[in-house]
């Protein structure tokens, strides 16, 4: 299922959400300028490499170890391809503005980055020996989605649903759309433990535990960051597109 928009008008311009999208796109353009060998070195330097991060925990305090911890943040802004970037930015565009609207700009930025860090740690926990760089904004965005489902469970999400030969646009309540998404990530995460070469980070695929972990973390941390501090202004099932 592919989300297209939500019917959830915001009260203020989501500058942080826009800025995060611009930064992710800008860094991806930089990645495109690198040769294959340079890109590989770039990912190993700035994305989370679980094996290297694990080693840093056993070798004491040093500058290289500090750099490994920094990748928990920098890896959130790197992407492995256009579809990876486009999918993440679509979800951030749809769900980020309303969560930022509730929390305020500075708290939302801190919440976003913290969800990304903890989601990366969740993925690392299940693949401590992997040498494959783990990167992408999906863990942080999953945190945003986890906050969204508890703040706006009844908001309709315009979604392309694969029914028959052609996708059918349907308006699905957020609690069902995001709930199904979370259950899928958790199931795939458990499956990856038994078949690491087929799905999950070990095969260079999707870091499902970062998704599921980020979602749960966002749901837990959202109220602490002011998720319920503003009236929602939701028009359930409204025709107008609102602010995206």
- DSSP per-residue codes, 158-183: EEEEEETTEEEEEEEEHHHHHHHHHH
Distance CA 213, CA 202 (A): 17
Residue 114 covered by a domain: yes
For tokens 């800025």, the residue is 19
For the chain, the residue count is 244
Q: Which of residues 211 and 147 earns the better pLDDT score?
A: 147
Average pLDDT of the segment spanning 137-145: 95
pLDDT at 197 over 80: no
For tokens 């299922």, the residue is 1
Give the tokens for residue 19.
Answer: 């800025």
Average pLDDT of the segment spanning 177-203: 63
**Domain containing 38: what range?**
2-223
pLDDT score recorded for residue 219: 95
Residue 110 covered by a domain: yes
pLDDT at 164 over 80: no
Q: Give the best-scoring range by mean pLDDT among 15-19, 177-181, 232-236.
A: 15-19
User: What's the CATH number where 122 sits?
Assistant: 1.20.1540.10
For tokens 């930064």, the residue is 23
Residue 229 covered by a domain: no
Between CA 183 and CA 181, with CA 82 as vertex, the angle to 5 degrees is: 10
pLDDT at 98 over 70: yes
- Tally of domains in the chain: 1
pLDDT at 196 over 60: no
Residue 234 covered by a domain: no
Q: Give the best-scoring range by mean pLDDT among 11-15, 51-55, 110-114, 210-214.
A: 110-114
Q: Which of residues 65 and 143 earns the better pLDDT score?
A: 143
Residue 240 covered by a domain: no
Residue 218's contacts (CB-CB under 8 Å, 6 or more residues apart) are: 111, 115, 142, 143, 144, 145, 146, 147
CA distances from 76 to 9, 37, 138, 239 (A): 27, 21, 8, 34
Q: In this predicted model, what pLDDT tens digit does every residue of 108-130 receive, in sequence order? A: 999 999 999 999 999 899 888 88
Residue 244 covered by a domain: no
Distance CA 86, CA 70 (A): 24
Residue 30 covered by a domain: yes
Residue 243 covered by a domain: no
């Amino acid at each position: 299922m592919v989300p297209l928009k939500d019917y959830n008008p915001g009260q203020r311009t989501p500058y942080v959400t826009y800025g995060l999208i611009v930064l992710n796109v800008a860094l991806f353009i930089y990645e495109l300028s690198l040769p294959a060998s340079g890109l590989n070195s770039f990912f190993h330097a700035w994305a989370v490499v679980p094996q290297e991060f694990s080693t840093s925990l056993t070798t004491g305090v040093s500058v290289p170890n500090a750099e490994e911890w920094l990748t928990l943040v920098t890896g959130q802004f790197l992407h492995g391809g256009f579809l990876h970037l486009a999918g993440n930015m679509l979800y951030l565009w749809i769900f980020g503005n309303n969560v930022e609207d509730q929390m305020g700009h500075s708290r939302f930025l801190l919440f976003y980055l913290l969800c990304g860090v903890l989601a990366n740690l969740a993925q690392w926990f299940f693949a401590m020996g992997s040498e494959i760089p783990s990167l992408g904004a999906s863990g942080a965005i999953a945190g945003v989605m986890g906050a969204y489902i508890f703040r706006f469970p009844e908001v309709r999400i315009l979604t392309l649903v694969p029914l028959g030969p052609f996708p059918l646009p349907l308006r699905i309540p957020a609690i069902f759309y995001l709930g199904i998404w979370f259950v899928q990530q958790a199931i795939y995460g458990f499956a990856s433990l038994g078949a690491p070469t087929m799905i999950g980070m070990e095969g260079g695929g999707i870091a499902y535990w970062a998704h599921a972990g980020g979602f749960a973390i966002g749901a837990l941390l959202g109220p602490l960051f002011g998720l319920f501090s503003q009236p929602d202004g939701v028009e359930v099932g409204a025709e107008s597109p609102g602010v995206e």
